[in-house]
Chains A and B, each alone.
Chain A
Amino acid sequence: MTVASPSPTTSATTAAPAVEAVALRKAYGPINAVDGIDLSLPAGRIYGMLGPNGSGKTTLIRLLTGLVSATSGEARVMGVEMPSRTNLARIGYMTQADGIYPELSVWENLSFFAALYGQRDRAEMIRALELVELDGRLGTPAHQLSGGMRRRLSMACALAHHPAVLFLDEPTVGVDPAVRVQFWDHFHRLAAAGATLLVSSHVMDEADRCDELLFMREGHVLAQGTPADLRARAGTDNLESAFLHFAGLSASPPATAGSSQEAAR
Chain B
Amino acid sequence: MSALRVTAVVRRIIAQFRRDPRSLALLFAAPVAVIALLGAVLSGSGASTARVAIVSESSQPASAAVVSRLTAALQGQPTVMVNTDVHDAATARQMLKDKQLDLVVNIPADFTVQSPKLQLVTLGLNPTGEASVIPNVQQALFKAVAGNLGGALPSIERSTVYGSPDATTVDTLAPVVVGFFVYFFVFILTGISFLRERIGGTLERLLATPVSRAEIVLGYSLGFGFFATLQVATVLAFVLGRLDIPSLGPVPAFAIGLGVHTAGNPLISYLLVLILGLGAVSLGIFLSTFARTELQILQFIPIVIVPQALLSGFFWPIDQLPSLLQPVARVLPVTYAIDGLRQVMIAGADLTSGQVLFDLAVLTGIAAVFIVLAAATIRREVA
Given A67-B382, A104-B15: A88 and B209 interface contact (C-beta under 8 Å)? yes
B382 touching A99 by the CB < 8 A rule?
Answer: no
Bound Cα distance from A10 to B205, whole angstroms: 30
B15, B201, B209, B382: the one within 8 Å of A116 (CB): B209
> Do B211 and A116 touch across chains, with their CB atoms under 8 A apart?
yes
Residues B12 and A99 in contact, CB atoms below 8 Å apart:
no
Q: Are A117 and B210 in contact (CB under 8 A)?
A: yes
- B16 lies within 8 A of A95 (CB): no
Chain B: how many interface residues by the 8 Å CB criterion? 24
Contact, CB under 8 Å: A95 / B205? yes
B1-33 near A? 1/0 per residue, CB < 8 Å? 000110110011001100110000000000000
**Is A257's CB within 8 Å of the partner chain B?**
no
B200 interface residue per 8 A CB criterion = yes
Q: Is A89 an interface residue (CB 8 A)?
A: yes
Q: A43 contacts the other chain (Cβ, under 8 Å)? A: no
Q: Choose among B202, B209, B211 the residue with the greatest number of A CB atoms under 10 Å from its CB.
A: B209
Closest CB of chain A to B350's CB: distance in Å?
Answer: 41
Q: Are the C-beta atoms of B383 and A67 separated by less than 8 Å? A: yes
Q: How far is the CB of B223 from chain A (nearest CB, A)?
A: 12
Contacts of A88 in B (CB 8 A): 208-210
B252 nearest CB across to chain A (Å): 41
* Interface contact A113-B209, CB-CB below 8 Å: yes
Verify B4–A99 contact, CB threshold 8 A. no
Q: Is the Cβ of A104 less than 8 Å from the Cβ of B16?
A: yes
Complex Cα spacing A100 to B7, Å: 18
Compute how far the CA of A86 lies from the CA of B5 in the bound complex, rounded to whole angstroms.
Answer: 13
Contact with A along B141-167 (1 / 0, CB 8 A): 000000000000000000000000000
Among the listed A66, A68, A98, A118, which residue makes an inter-chain contact with B4, where contact means beta carbons less than 8 Å apart?
A: A118
Contact in complex: B210, A67 (CB < 8 Å): no
A115 pairs with B4, CB closer than 8 A:
yes
Contacts A67-B382, A68-B382, A115-B4; A103 near B208 (Cβ below 8 A): no
Inside 8 A of A101's CB, which chain B residues have their CB? 12, 16, 200, 202
Interface residue A157 (Cβ < 8 Å from any Cβ of B): yes
A190-227 Cβ-contact flags toward B at 8 Å (1 or 0): 00000000000000000000000000000000000000
Measured between alpha carbons, how far is A96 from B200 in the docked complex, in Å?
A: 11
When the two chains form their complex, are residues A67 and B208 in contact, meaning their CB atoms are under 8 A apart?
yes
A112 on the B face (CB < 8 A): yes
Residue in B closest to A115 when the chains form the complex, CB atoms: B8
Task: With CB as the reference atom, state the residue of chain B lying closest to A116.
Answer: B209
Residues in A with CB closer than 8 Å to B204 are 67, 95, 97, 99
CB distance from B8 to the nearest CB of A (A): 4
Is B206 in contact with chain A by the CB < 8 A criterion? yes
Least CB distance from A179 to B in Å reads: 21
Q: Complex: how many Å from CA A86 to CA B11?
A: 23
Would you call A108 and B200 a contact (CB within 8 A)?
Answer: no
Tell me whether B207 is interfacial, beta carbon within 8 Å.
Answer: yes
Nearest chain B CB to A140 CB, angstrom units: 12
Residues of B within 8 A of A104 (CB): 12, 15-16, 19
B12:A108 contact, CB within 8 angstroms: yes
In the complex, whether B172 has a CB less than 8 A from a CB of chain A is no
Closest to B197 in A: A101
Which residues of B, 316-360, contact A by the 8 Å Cβ criterion?
Answer: none
Chain B residue at minimal CB-CB distance from A86: B210
In the complex, residue of chain B having the shortest beta-carbon distance to the beta carbon of A108: B15
| Shortest CB distance A110–B (Å) | 12
Contacting pair A97 B210 (CB below 8 A): no
Interface readout for B204-230 with A: 1 if CB under 8 Å, 0 if not? 111111111000000000000000000
A93 interfacial by beta-carbon distance below 8 Å: yes
**Which chain A residues border B212 with CB–CB below 8 Å?**
85
Q: Which residues of B contact A108 (CB under 8 A)?
A: 12, 15
- Judging by beta carbons under 8 Å apart, are B19 and A117 in contact? no
Measured in the bound complex, the distance between the Cα atoms of B202 and A69 in whole Å is 19
Convert B370-383 into 0s and 1s, putting 1 for each residue whose CB lies closer than 8 angstroms to a CB of A: 00000000000011
Please, which residue of chain A has its CB at the minimum distance from the CB of B382?
A67
Say yes or no: is A141 at the interface (Cβ < 8 Å to chain B). yes
- The distance in angstroms between the C-alpha atoms of A112 and B16, with both chains bound, is 12
CB-CB < 8 A to B7: which residues of A? 115
- Quick check: is A247 within 8 A (CB to CB) of the other chain? no
What are 28 A-B contacts defined by CB distance under 8 Å? Answer: A67-B207, A68-B382, A85-B210, A88-B209, A91-B208, A93-B208, A95-B205, A97-B200, A97-B204, A98-B201, A99-B201, A99-B202, A99-B205, A101-B12, A103-B19, A104-B16, A108-B12, A112-B8, A112-B11, A113-B209, A115-B5, A115-B8, A116-B5, A116-B8, A116-B206, A117-B209, A120-B4, A157-B205
Q: Given A99-B200, A103-B16, list of 12 further CB < 8 A pairs?
A: A88-B210, A89-B209, A95-B205, A95-B208, A97-B201, A99-B202, A99-B204, A101-B200, A103-B15, A112-B11, A115-B5, A116-B210
Q: In the A-B complex, list the 9 residue pairs whose CB atoms are closest, starting with the nearest.
A: A97-B201, A115-B8, A99-B205, A99-B201, A116-B209, A103-B19, A93-B208, A88-B210, A89-B210
